[in-house]
Structure 1
Amino acid sequence: MSSSPLNVAIIGMGTVGSGVAKILLNRAEQMTARAGRPIHLKRAVVRDLSRTRDINLPAGVLTDDVESVINDSTIEVVLQLVGGIDPAYDIMLRVLESGKDVITANKALLCEKGELVFQRAKELGRCICFEAAVAGGVPLIETVTQAMTANQIISIEAILNGTSNYILTEMFSHNTSYADAVRTAQEIGYAEADPAMDVDGTDAAQKLGILVQLALGVKVNLDQFLRQGIDSLSLADLQYADELGYTVKLLAVAKLLDGQLEMHAQPTLIRNDNPLAHVEDAYNKIALEGDAVGKVWLSGMGAGQMATASAVVANLIDVAVGRAAITFPRLNLWNSSQNIQILPREDISRRYFLRLNVEDRPHVLADITNVLGNHEISIASLVQHEAPEVDETENYPIVPLVIMTHRTTEGQFQAASRELDALDCIRAPFVRMPVND
């Protein structure tokens, strides 16, 4: 065991950064045993020194000067735990160029700039580790890039956003509204003050993009595949899905079909006998299918301070013992040489759930089925609960109508949806979700 400490710095002392610092400071002896040398937290960079934090750092560690990290040649590893692209991209490049290895949890940066930063790291003889960027505490990146390397991964079906999964669980389990579930998620630290990227599907889509890059060698931009969030759903949608034998989850999917890649990240109806339907709270669950091993399941906490910090520290141990220096330059993680085309979204084939708010009057159902029939969409089931009788002189009441279709294409479905939107018997909101059978 080397007696010289490994000096590290954290840039970004938010939720995850504070969790990492807790592990390094509170479990120092255990980390030393696993790393083969002491790990010394030398700097922690923040934007606001006056902000109250839930951890007491040793004197001299906390700073607002990122240059004190970049210019310190004794710091060997930087845990870059700031989000977004700017200034994170510039900071990462400068850290690498200063001769330091990088560990990050920034999926947005990797999704957009991964090829550039990986190439620069290789040119400089440095490494980038990012286990925490995709599924919180779940060892998904290591599984895809190392444990399953004997396989061609042909399918990914995953719940990758712990915040959205917690919100959906809270809504259904406690019969609460979307807004109230979001507030609860914020109060316990699963959702940010602005939860937009979690609830609009961006976070799950970015993570899916990273997985596709690693598993299939395909660079995919977010605008190339369907992305939809949970922010348009209500408790009624979850209850109707349950009545039909399904659970709603924000599901990220990538499948190889006849040489093309089907991709989408959307709230989806999943049959209740599917293991993905039973993932609750902030947990993630991922089904990877390899052509040799078959289906592999991974599950664990996908949000929260210590779960994500766990993955960051695991990467730090990899760097400390020298594993990362061996594997990073040889795995060719950001190779985009595969000539796999994205299946056009209009050609995606599946079933759909529709919830329409309609006037309870004659001929409404005929109007709706006529639109669907004109686009060759067949109805598998229909649910309309009995409405109270009203006097003929009163306005027609608005009632929910739930339709499950047979298999159709996204192109046909979208064309029908535009015509349904134009019907004067339908009131907003008009909820549409795919079905995963």
Structure 2
Amino acid sequence: MLFSLLPGTITAQAEDSLNINADAAIIVEANSGKVLYEKDADKVLGIASMTKMMTEYLLLDSIRDGKVKWDQEYSVSDYVYQISQNRTLSNVPLRKDGKYKVKELYEAMTIYSANGATIALAEVIAGSEANFVKMMNDKAKELGLKEYKFVNASGLNNSDLLGMQPAGGPNDENVMSARATAKLSFHLINEFPDVLKTASTPSKIFREGTDDQIKMDNWNWMLPTLVFGYKGVDGLKTGTTDFAGYCFTATAIRDGNRYITVVMNAKGANGQGNYKARFDETRKMLDYAFSNFSKEEILPAKYQIKNKKTLQVIKGKKDQVKIHTKTPITMVIKNGEKENYQTSFVLDKKKLNEDGELTAPIKKGDVVGHLLIKSKNNEDIKFLTNSGQSTIQADVIAAEDVEKANWFVLMMRGIGGFFGDVWGSVSSTVKGWF
């Protein structure tokens, strides 16, 4: 059953005038995972160091489960040592005979995108990077990502791994879609919000006070104090390789509203990729989100459906039961477009008998169905997860008790119904005579 809220039409996504200059892009509301804008969001592309969000997720997951400790020490393997010495890549050089705590390796990875430190963490978690890559792909499947392939922990092209790549061919690289990348970041910041405390650190000294100290400047230049500073940005991860181009997964919060954006292979006005382009395109998307969207209550709690405030009941002391929604429905929508949605009421078939009837007894608070928000032109309201989809529906419950009628009342009703049918038949026959 469809019930309109107000007349109007739906706008499915951002206008074409947003004109994001990138191979793929997406904007997501971070709390519900509602998709606000997308461009080729399912196209599989290189992700470069945005890969490290999966490494962060698996590390934080292992720490939560007690499998890894922040103060746990790591002894540098020959492989990690060799990778960490390559300063043409983002790295903090690690000593071959050195011992490093998980926490400092994590900071090097998250702030400075240090590749050797990232592989070191993979070895801490899984024993080897090859084992870790399997964990990455398994976790991606578990999180419901649909377009992905991981071949290493860092996001480097395998050709940079000195012939020691853990999976894939010598020139393979990690790939995902913009939607899958957004979904990974959605899980990361919602399950492990403390990641933003580290991701938002503009600069930190690695091994401060030692001969090995090195300044780690955050590659996310949209942090508020950096060169392309943007109010509210506190994450998340950049990525750059020849294969992937200039990529960036950002998140920002203002007045309690948080958004996630992903841009892949961003380009400047001349059609060439560069560091500035990924931040310029991200700025466009964040400006669009903060300026045009807000969270609104679409329906209040105890909302009564117009022309459907009651349901018929059989075998009860009353023949109807009042119904209303149990909880309100709120949703992030484009400003001024609340009227573009309608409700769909679905009865719970488990509450009905074989004839499709609601049968007493019914207790106040019993769920009899649910109300779902839909767009008026039946376009999908897209979310990253099924749990997000559940935010646009509310249980419809009985607002009162309806006790079952006793046997005598039911018998009398049956007799009354019988004689009513007989009288109706006789009446019809008599009318037919004249």
Quickly name the TM-score band, shorter chain normalised.
under 0.3
TM-score (norm 1): 0.23
TM-score (norm 2): 0.23
Which has more radius of gyration?
Answer: 2
Which structure features the higher share of helix residues? 1
